[in-house]
Structure 1
Amino acid sequence: MTVSNLDTGTQTAIRRQKRLLKNHESLTSLFQLAADVFVAATLLFLLTWIKLESFPPAYRVLTVIAAFSLWFIYSSRGVYRQSSSCLRGCIRLSGAWGILMLLLLLIGFVTKTSEIFSREILLIWAVSVLIFQNISFCIVSYLSKKYKESFGHHLPVIIVGTGSVAQHLVSSLNKNRWLPDKVIGCVRSLDNDDTVSVANVDVLGGLESIRELIKKHDIRRIYIALPMRASEQIEGVNIDLLDENVDVIWAPDIFALNLLNHSVREVAGVPLISLNESPLTSSKASMVLKDVMDRTIAAVALCMLAPLMLWVAYKVKRSSPGPVFFKQDRHGWDGKVIKVWKFRSMKLHDEAHGEVQQATKEDPRITDIGRLIRRTSIDELPQLINVLQGSMSLVGPRPHAVAHNNYYSDKINAYLARHRIKPGMTGLAQINGYRGETETIDKMEKRVEYDLSYINNWSLFLDVKILIKTPISLFSKEIY
């Protein structure tokens, strides 16, 4: 029985039995991972033996935890990604080792076992492992590079398409010394223009001449880089080349879409492309670390800033009749309405028809102390309580009033997508000058653009960077 005689359902079942998403790990990466685990375990054993003349059970447990954590963190952080330079690789490795150290400190704090270990041993171990791992990484990368230069071979490649994805592929493949792929040219799609070159390679012709080009240039691999609307052409190219001895790889052009934290994964053999997904659902472990960092820093900040907040509370109470705190309904994570705390900076007043009017320069509603705390953002400090409650984060898109969200949601594309993550006391938009009043639609669009960029590129390092830059940004723009 041939495949063509099988019914569609049977063919589908056969295809689903094979994984469509494969883990491509090189021997070099596996060797580097094994070497790093060996370095970490061996150095911990040697340092402990020199200091204690034994290797107690607690250090054995630490070795096992460190080895498994190293494997998981280094793999997830792409430490052994071989398309970049040795320097970038060392930077990634150092960052991943730093995350591992923070994780071990957190485990020691939670389990109250940190006192069991010698601080001298752990400090020397952390520094020495980092040094030896970087040396090992550079040596393996250098030897692998020399091997590929001496014994590697080029694989002639053609790219179908002349759009942005095709240009990116040409540039990336030809610059990547770790891949054998060598792009010799592009092929125009059926509905394309008369483009003659793409990213320093020639356009060799149209789809109608692809078989001739395969024979002429001994092509071994073809990348299809056509937009999703050209699905019929993509299917046609694949069917047409089934009897050719070439690899056919589809690079779907999904980047023309408005993506939010996009990713690719697999369920039961079916590849799933997440075009719009909350980081809170796609990376639970990272978000737990973010939540721990938020609440820890918020608790410490509240203790340190208590005298200042008490003084501000006293001045607010004396400034005009009304409560010390102002609680406003704002949209939080997944659009849920939360109560956001602030020091009251205005006199009590009624909003016309339920609207929320942003404060403006020389606004008569603002009190004297209110003007000071708004300009310095001290009025936002009570939101540390929101962070402790879990309704807000230290860093994230600033929460807007419900009325503002209702107004802008119909005027700005993907405006409400900023609610796919917890709102923050500060954010990427704020350190780039977009804080305070947004007088025009353009300014709010720019703020939303930064918020979506934060969601797409979120990391703990980015949070720390924003927190460090926030005090500096307070002087970059006068807030009313």
Structure 2
Amino acid sequence: MPELGGTHPGVAAAPPPAPALPGPAVFSHSRLLRAFEAFLEPLVTVLSLWWLVWLFEGAISTRWLVVSVIAFALAYPGRPQLRASAPRVIADTVLAWAWTAGLLLATAYAVGHLEDFARPVILHWLWLAPTSQLAAHWILRKSAPHLIRLQGPPLRAVVVGMNEQGGSLADRLSMAHYTGVELLGFFDDRTPDRQHGRGRHRMLGRIQEIADYVKRNNVQLVYLSLPMASQPRIKQLLDALKDTTASVYFVPDMFVTDLIQGRTDSICGLPVISVCETPFKGPNLVVKRASDIVLSVAILLLLSPLMLGIAAAIRFTSPGPVIFRQRRYGLWGQEIMVYKFRSMTVTEDGPVVTQARKEDSRVTPLGRILRRTSMDELPQFINVLQGRMSIVGPRPHAVAHNEFYRPLIKSYMLRHKVKPGITGWAQVNGYRGETDSLEKMEARIRCDLDYLRNWSLRLDLYIVWRTIRLVFKDGAAY
């Protein structure tokens, strides 16, 4: 894809804001800990069975493997127990295991295969499985703070509305040990006598000041605790926050707005509704990253002879570097370095970046072919392996172009809630190439936001297929 740009030949950049720290929103505790808890009891149950079978029989037969699969399925997902008291953990574990073991024994007896299983294995498994589960819960509880720290610094959060609901949320965040969230304080317009919990939590300012504060202080999470009667003010606040990369959640019972990946969840036991969130969390994140790695490795291996030939041709046909590096905005608004085969006589990456136009004299003869076929983008598959980009996502714009457009287009910065892509929904819908008007860029951003709302692996594969077809017949690239 060609360089993206502004409505003028040269676009001067405003001073870039401080990049936001990466990381999605978290709720009752770290998503990494949630994953550990989901697999903890099922995995320990199976491992304890395998150890006993190996001890008494010397090998794990097919019938024991079938029992293992059934036991894992019955125990998955494990219950979250980090915030529960020790007596509660013991009671829940014993009762859950009694149900699982009872169901397994009853099924084996009903089908007439109970005698096929070694009695010593069964008897020892009845006490070893729950004991191992309790030991695993204890180990996870002791190691949880270290696992939280491995994920990086805590995510910064603010609460808007120092009412009873917001105060309760702040109290729970302050008392919770496994959130991975640092509460910075509140924003509210009410007088001190009407602010719930003012003495316990810090007041940061008035509501109209929140967007600037979020950008200056790298805030990743914004929790809105405002009454339904404030709906016009909430809409105005949401519009202001769309110039940031913060994830926004609504704490009261219900709210209707233009949601991006809207879903319900809870934080420390309180229900919240995500207003604007990334689609790549939990299993979706694993699927997206795995597909990026598999496809990029396959493409780089397949096209490596072609890439070496292109590099040699660039070296011998025009002076300058083979690889053009340019700063772009990536996930959470962080600056990243994006690679391309050099296709022009200039390598602009300063406060002014001039977009390539039709019949641009700066494009080399070889570069014209590379740009029309998008082969100049091939080095970006290395960016994908580095984790800076995805194969499919909003196309990254030069920093200068980003700073030019973000105050002009509503919700522009929301495209940075996902990694930028080599190709995207906008590019396969006709918004590839030069953006010589504000309307074209607005249409491109609408496509990017539609992609965030409707992402699926099937959509990614469809975009890749459409891109391959476009390479051979699209005239918008030059």
> Structure with the greater relative contact order (CA < 8 A, sep ≥ 6): 1 or 2?
2
Greater Rg over alpha carbons, structure: 1
User: Normalised by the size of structure 2, how large is the TM-score?
Assistant: 0.49
Larger fraction in helix: 1
User: Normalised by the size of structure 1, how large is the TM-score?
Assistant: 0.48
